[in-house]
A and B are shown apart, each in its own frame.
Chain A
């Protein structure tokens, strides 16, 4: 009795799995390719948005002041402590403080923060401001204020030359 009951339970779970798994991303969705961006045209102080895996990615050519601002923040002041250097390094471990590349999705509930386009509000910390629930990010894309729990995510990227970056 117990054995057959247990077998039935195992069978039920084993049968349920394909149906649950069916909702996971399909192979073609997973295979979404990498994106290559030429950053030559982005002037100092400018930022652009590119689409990667259906999400916006912000690429900002930071000014020396913005870099300085990001580097001088005390880690103790950050809700999600991370140094600026750790956020501007590509997969070849090369640090390029002038280029900040982050996924443009607010870590609160997934809105696209403002601050990439010229004239956008950039919040109290001169980075990005999320219009949905008021999260504010600094010049390193780190969360400083508001409901978002984490810094803007940094995708894997590699500078294949000084002006060409491969995201993903």
Chain B
């Protein structure tokens, strides 16, 4: 069952065009020129209930704009959004009961009052029965360790604590859909991990649909099975993380340590080997997985050298995404880098 359906979604803004220099400033005082900027253009996708989807793209790609349209903050210029049977912008109030939103960059809690008071206000805003409220808080506390800072004013919280409190506030009313806009930005490894586990738990136990934007690729690897990548407002990829890696990340790196330094490794070059680097007794061989396998490379090497140790590194997902971004920016050069 699709919980989110997006059809031909487009958002464009009119932005005032500024001329340079003093003359330009005066000109724009009287004669303003506007420029149309398309932040999101003609995007289509469906998301099923219970999915965790990563929404990726470089800065300024239109990720936040999409999230804001999905959560009802912005109106689409064109196209339709259906979230759980409602159109977010025109049914904003009912829609808000179905969704939870966390913006990593800013808090939705009251700055000067303790977390507990903020959460209690949320309870009244969403009309959550007290017994449910207490039960949910207890569950959240188990994963997020809220009790440690629940009576501290928000302004005195660390970023990690604030993030945990914000997550809790967004989930108190048990929304169907959770939007996370860079939920792990600026957090340390332990808190990041904590938050990921929590999101996973919520997803498993309540079948909450999660859409998150992030620049941290380990968020994607640990949480999502599906990613949507957009660039300059258009969708460039929609599929599983595995598929993404296979398409864009067929390169692997094998690091081989030999007993003696190899003087001449030119014999290694065969179809599929991309480049070889050497540092003392260690060889770094980058190859195309679909053309040559690591065992073949090792066999060739073992015939001639004494191998002490080796490791194989898969392409990191952020490397994959990076290549995708570069490719869409400059298809020729990136294409060159990819196929030798």
A joins B in a complex: no
Chain A residues within CB distance 8 Å of chain B: none
